[in-house]
Amino acid sequence: MDKNKNNNLLYSYKNHMNNLTNTITEKNIKIYSDINYLFYFNTIVKNIDKEVNCSIPTHFDNSLAFSHGLLAGIAVENNLVNYVTSIRQLSLSKQNWSSSLYPGYYFINNQNDLEKFKKYHYVSPVPISMKSCQMVTIKYNANMVKPKTHPK
């Protein structure tokens, strides 16, 4: 963000939305224009974590929340269940944002679940924070660990 401030790059909600819609239209993804888009999906929404809410959200906050919601909508459209959205490399310029979806099982841990999931190689031994900056590390570690072979 400091780099963009030094270059006098101002965050523009309109430009952000134009960039976002153009990217989505190119990929042929359906966009729902009304606010009740959740009624289009047969989903159950569960809140599994608490975040501190902004009392006066800026355009940046709104864009970030909208982008997370859009990623979640893409997951639902593609029948992906139990995925977590992540947006990294946040700056005032939307073009630099890096968004992805991660499977929820990356966040299961043995310490809280009485080691029921110990047989799965991608389960963490300790609780994992759902902060976006840690997602890549988790994904990297999950890909690097070879699956354990179980006796038949």
Domain locations in the chain? 2-104
pTM of the model: 0.43
In the numeric block, which tokens belong to residue 84?
Answer: 């977590």
7-32 tens-digit pLDDT: 555 555 566 555 555 554 555 555 55
Average confidence score pLDDT of the chain: 63
What is the rounded distance in angstroms from the CA atom of residue 30 to the CA atom of residue 99?
18
Pairing relationship of beta strands 98-103 and 83-88 according to DSSP bridges: antiparallel
77-88 tens-digit pLDDT: 888 877 888 887
Dihedral pair phi/psi, residue 101, rounded to 5°: -115, 135
Is residue 137's pLDDT more than 50? no
Which residue has better confidence, 106 or 11?
A: 106
**Sequence letter at residue 67:** S
Q: How far is CA 100 from CA 33, 56, 84, 88, in A?
A: 22, 27, 8, 9
Which of 66, 69, 49 has its CA nearest to residue 130?
Answer: 49
